């Protein structure tokens, strides 16, 4: 009985592995720097890619009127240029 089920189980397992590998390939690392969801967080404020000290990398940031900007990745608000 188990001898008949084994090929099917192996096939399903193979398809699952292929699907996981494919899903990982569809999400390249650069997508995480500017997530699509973060664009909605900007709202009425302009968004620009600014260097974030916390992330230590360029991040999409929401620009505020006082010159400060909030990193949309770690949500750290930097002090504006006084
Ligand atoms: Zn950050």
Q: Is-contact 45 63, C-beta < 8 A?
A: yes
Q: Whole-prediction pTM value?
A: 0.47
Measure 35 CA to ligand 1 centroid, in angstroms: 13
Residue 67: CB atoms within 10 A of its CB come to: 11
Q: Which residue has the higher pLDDT, 1 or 43?
A: 43
The total domain count for the chain is: 1
Q: Which pLDDT band holds residue 52 (cuts at 50, 70, 90)?
A: very high
Residue 38 reports pLDDT greater than 70: no
Measure 18 CA to ligand 1 centroid, in angstroms: 34
Which structural domain range is residue 66 located in? 2-78
Measure 45 CA to ligand 1 centroid, in angstroms: 17
Measure 24 CA to ligand 1 centroid, in angstroms: 24
């Amino acid at each position: 009985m188990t001898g008949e089920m084994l090929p099917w189980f192996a096939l399903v397992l193979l398809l699952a592995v292929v699907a996981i590998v494919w899903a990982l390939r569809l999400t390249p690392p650069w997508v995480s720097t500017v997530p699509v969801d973060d664009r909605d967080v900007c709202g009425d404020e302009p968004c620009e890619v600014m260097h974030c000290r916390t992330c230590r990398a360029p991040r999409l940031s929401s620009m505020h009127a006082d010159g400060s900007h909030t990193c949309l990745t770690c949500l750290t608000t930097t002090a504006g240029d006084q």
